[in-house]
C-alpha cells in the first residue's frame, strides 16, 4: 500500500487540497487505494523556506518508498521546473524552487511525460494537474525515472552555505523556538546568540522561567528558546541570520527532547 503525504500553503477552506486528494484516489485506483497523510496545509502563503524545513524534518519519519508532495509554489506556471526527487530512499514531488533544499538529493527528474500530467494543465494549479497526478502514477507502479530527463535541482533558499560552528536560523516554530541548522556534532557547552552567551542545557526545566536557553532539539540541531516564553519575539531575528557560534568544547551530552 502506497503512502502519499501532502504539504501545501493552500489551507483547508477553499477545496484545493480536496481536489488534489480526489485526483490521487481517481488516478491511483483502489487496489489498494493509497494512504494519504496531511503533513501541513497552513504553511504561510509562498513561504518556501518554511515548507523546506517542515518537509525535511517530518518526512524522514515515514517508511522508505513513501511519496511526498510539496506545493508551496509562488512561481506556478513560470520558468521553474516540475520535478521528482529521490532522496533518503523516498520520493518527493513538487516545484524546483527551494522546497527540497534541505534534502540530500540523490537524483531528480523533470516531469514531462504525459502519463504523469493531466491532459490539460492549469497554469495556476500544478498541485492538482501535475504533482498529485505524478504521486498517483508512482503509487500505481509507474517508474519515476520515466517521467522525464534527469536534472539537477537549481532551486535554492535565499541564504548561502553556513560556516562550521555557525548556525543559521532556519525556522521559528509555533512556540517561538528558534531552530538552527547547527548539528549536535559541532556543539560545545555554550552558544552565543545576538551577543548573549547561553548555556547548552538538556531540558527546558534546566532554566528558570523567562530565561533564554539553548538545547539540542528533536531534529538534532541547536535550538534557542525562552522557558515559558517566545524566543522569536524576544530576539526578533529573521530566518537566514547566522545567530549561533559555539565554544570548542564538545563534551556536553544529556537527555534531549
Residue 65 within a domain:
yes
Do 32 and 110 lie in a common domain? yes
Looking at residue 141, its pLDDT comes to 94
Q: What is the block-wise mean pLDDT of the chain (257 residues), using blocks of 10 residues?
A: 97 97 94 94 96 95 98 96 97 98 92 97 97 98 97 90 84 94 85 84 92 92 95 92 65 35
Looking at residue 80, its pLDDT comes to 96
Residue 86 within a domain:
yes
Nearest of 67, 72, 76 to residue 144 by alpha carbon: 67
Looking at residue 127, its pLDDT comes to 98
Domain membership of residue 90 as a residue range:
3-151
Do 133 and 182 lie in a common domain? no
Looking at residue 257, its pLDDT comes to 27
CATH number, residue 183: 2.40.30.90
Looking at residue 27, its pLDDT comes to 95
Using the 8-state DSSP alphabet, how is residue 136 labeled? Answer: H
Q: Taken in order 214, 216, 219, 221, is the CA torsion positive or negative? A: positive
> Per the structure, how many domains does the chain have?
2
**Residue labelled with grid coordinates 505524478:** 134
Do 98 and 173 lie in a common domain? no
Do 109 and 86 lie in a common domain? yes
CATH number, residue 16: 3.40.50.10790
Looking at residue 188, its pLDDT comes to 79
Buried b (16+ CB within 10 A) or exposed e, 222-234: bbbbbbeeebbeb
Amino acid at each position: 500500500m502506497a503512502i502519499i503525504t501532502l504539504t501545501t500553503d493552500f489551507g483547508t477552506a477553499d477545496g484545493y487540497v480536496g481536489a488534489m486528494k480526489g485526483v490521487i484516489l481517481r488516478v491511483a485506483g483502489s487496489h489498494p487505494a493509497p494512504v494519504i497523510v496531511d503533513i501541513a496545509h497552513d504553511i504561510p502563503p509562498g513561504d518556501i523556506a518554511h515548507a523546506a524545513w517542515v518537509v525535511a524534518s517530518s518526512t524522514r519519519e515515514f517508511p522508505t518508498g513513501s511519496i511526498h508532495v510539496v506545493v508551496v509554489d509562488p512561481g506556478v506556471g513560470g520558468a521553474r521546473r516540475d520535478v521528482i526527487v529521490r532522496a533518503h530512499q523516498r520520493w518527493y514531488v513538487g516545484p524546483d524552487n527551494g522546497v527540497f533544499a534541505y534534502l540530500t538529493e540523490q537524483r531528480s527528474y523533470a516531469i514531462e511525460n504525459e502519463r504523469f500530467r493531466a491532459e490539460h494543465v492549469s497554469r495556476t494549479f500544478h498541485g492538482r494537474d501535475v504533482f498529485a497526478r505524478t504521486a498517483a502514477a508512482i503509487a500505481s507502479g509507474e517508474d519515476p525515472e520515466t517521467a522525464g530527463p534527469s536534472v539537477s535541482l537549481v532551486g535554492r533558499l535565499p541564504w548561502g552555505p553556513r560556516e562550521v560552528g555557525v548556525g543559521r536560523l532556519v525556522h521559528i516554530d509555533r512556540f517561538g523556538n528558534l531552530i538552527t541548522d547547527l548539528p549536535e556534532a559541532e556543539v560545545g557547552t555554550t552558544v552565543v546568540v545576538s551577543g548573549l552567551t547561553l548555556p547548552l542545557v538538556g531540558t527546558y526545566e534546566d532554566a528558570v522561567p523567562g530565561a533564554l536557553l539553548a538545547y539540542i532539539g528533536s531534529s538534532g540541531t541547536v535550538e534557542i528558546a525562552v522557558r515559558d516564553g517566545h524566543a522569536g519575539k524576544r530576539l526578533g531575528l529573521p530566518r537566514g541570520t547566522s545567530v549561533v557560534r559555539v565554544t570548542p568544547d564538545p563534551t556536553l551530552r544529556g537527555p534531549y527532547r
